[in-house]
Structure 1
Amino acid sequence: MKDCVEDPDFLPSDPPGPTAAAAAALHSPLCPQTPLIRGDALERSCLQQPLDCDDIYSQGYQTDGVYLIYPEGPSVPVPVFCDMTTEGGKWTVFQKRFNGSVSFFRGWNDYKLGFGRADGEYWLGKAGPKQVGGPRARTWLTCCPSTGLQNLHLLTLKQKYELRVDLEDFENNTAYAKYADFSIAPNAISAEEDGYSLYVAGFEDGGAGDSLSYHSGQKFSTFDRDQDLFLQNCAALSSGAFWFRSCHFANLNGFYLGGSHLSYANGINWAQWKGFYYSLKRTEMKIRRA
């Protein structure tokens, strides 16, 4: 592991211990024996080089938390939050918002590379925590930069995934939307040149309504890379970044505006549930093998 810096301020609770299956994975020839990672962190990073949270769940870790996955290959670990609880678990979370501590009004490179931290608000692919020393060590590392949208493409290229979008408002009401098929640039020779286009199908309503099917087939747009169908820049108008069309019914990367707002369609909006003048409290976008 390279370019790791110590982060003493990040002091989460001790992670759970492995099951027998997880412990056995430590003896895999794929497990890198690096002096920078030991104890439980080594167990988390050496689970047969898991592709996603489904692999991690199958290999014995069935508690919510931050783990390492390897969509690009054994030399490129990606920190990710795994939801092992909701609807049977195994969800790989690629977008998470809950308090507005991280700005999501960012440019193309940030969404390509990822940002935030997997233990907080984030977009898949940036730096994340890794423990050193053992299960009770209190020193953590921030390391392992990787790619965000590209990782989503690689995951959905290798497996068939379903998508779940979990939403919560400031009155503590919750709802979700599910899509039986989810992929990023499924037919592209170059995913980035294709704009990391979105494909979703097979909507299932969990009370949120369908605000995402409208975006299927669209390229990802940011304020500095306008790839939508509108005459103006939807990302700039909506204060976010998304698979905009002309412009959106879903704007989950918009401004964190804290509920009802006077401005039009620039908050964390899911129009079929709360309309264009309500910014949600919490969102999670997560995928699981179908």
Structure 2
Amino acid sequence: MMVYWSLALLLPLLVQSLPITEEDLPIDCEDVFRNGSAHNGVYTIYPVGQEVPMEVFCDMGCTDNENHQGHWTVIMRRMDGTVSFDRPYSQYIEGFGKKKGEYWLGLQNMHLLTWRTKYMLRVDVEDFEGAKVYALYETFYVESESDGYRLRLVDFDNGGAGDSLGHHNGQRFSTFDRDQDGWSWGHCNKDHRYGGFWFNGGRGGCMQANTNGRYQWKDHRSIDGSGVIWKGWTLNSLKAISMKVKRLSLDELTS
């Protein structure tokens, strides 16, 4: 009887001491949801293993039945202008802001999250009148630092917002201290103080979208592109915008 009780007392300790395997770690918010967390909030994910944890905001879709079933990993969000996005290249690589509010996940984290498997991107935009639309891209990933964190997009699906990000497809990321926009006569960010983005210095102007511009307020018509911009829907600076990704299911990959 004494041996039985000793084993019963030790069993919980033995279970708790078992090592956590890589298979147990969530690589994104889809896994967080499958592990039993169904509410929007900040969670830790491990896209490349437990050595590189990432803290992200998970949009589980619990307040939006039209949100493609939720389970989105938010990689950028603007909502109230409390965080400055006018930052150097090094901070755009590392990430900044607060996960419960405005933040940028970081170019390196975006690369690590999207390079190993296929992700879709959803961009949600909202104006100061409360109108909301979105744009969906069936394939999204960010190249490595050696390629300037180049943006890759495929297969636009319009949710009312229009394809403003397509103009930036294939562009490297630029900031005021790192010019990679391909404009031989100027510098999109430094000349216009847009905030860091995948600017296109070729035909059509520097940008059709800029999620990272200086936050403006109601009725600000962004003629010079200095606000939070999505030109496919409106020329006014936006109240809120977010970029979020979700891993494609096996059915979606084979369709």
Among 126, 139, 142, the residue aligned to 1:184 = 142
Among 204, 218, 235, the residue aligned to 2:171 = 218
**Are 1:30 and 2:30 matched, yes or no?**
no
**Are 1:162 and 2:115 matched, yes or no?**
no
Q: TM-score, normalised by structure 1?
A: 0.73
Among 68, 79, 82, the residue aligned to 1:101 = 82
Which residue of the partner structure matches residue 50 of structure 1? 26
Query: What is the percent sequence identity of the aligned residues?
Result: 48
Detail structure 1 runs of 4+ shifted over 6 Å in the superposition: 25-28
Among 257, 269, 279, the residue aligned to 2:229 = 269
| 3-state DSSP of counterpart to 1:102 | coil
Among 232, 235, 239, the residue aligned to 2:186 = 232
Taking a change above 3 Å as real, the CA distance of residues 262 and 183 of structure 1, as seen in their structure-2 partners, is closer
**Are 1:250 and 2:201 matched, yes or no?**
no
**Are 1:152 and 2:105 matched, yes or no?**
no
Q: In the alignment, is the contact (CA less than 8 A) between 1:47 and 1:59 conserved in 2?
A: no
Mapped partners of 1:262, 1:179: distance in 2: 25
| 3-state DSSP of counterpart to 2:136 | strand
Which residue of the partner structure matches residue 22 of structure 1? none
Among 237, 241, 244, the residue aligned to 1:283 = 241
**Are 1:90 and 2:60 matched, yes or no?**
no
Residue identity matched to 1:211: S
Structure 1 unaligned regions, length at least 5 = 1-24, 32-45, 125-147, 186-190
Which residue of the partner structure matches residue 75 of structure 1? 51
Mapped partners of 1:235, 1:173: distance in 2: 29
Mapped partners of 1:27, 1:160: distance in 2: 34
Which residue of the partner structure matches residue 13 of structure 1? none
Taking a change above 3 Å as real, the CA distance of residues 60 and 194 of structure 1, as seen in their structure-2 partners, is same
Mapped partners of 1:109, 1:250: distance in 2: 22
Q: In the alignment, is the contact (CA less than 8 A) between 1:28 and 1:48 conserved in 2?
A: no
Which residue of the partner structure matches residue 173 of structure 1? 131
Structure 2 unaligned regions, length at least 5 = 1-14, 62-66, 249-255
Q: In the alignment, is the contact (CA less than 8 A) between 2:142 and 2:152 conserved in 1?
A: yes
Shift of 1:47: 9.0
**Are 1:207 and 2:160 matched, yes or no?**
yes
Q: In the alignment, is the contact (CA less than 8 A) between 1:72 and 1:151 conserved in 2?
A: no
Residue identity matched to 1:115: F
Mapped partners of 2:243, 2:230: distance in 1: 13
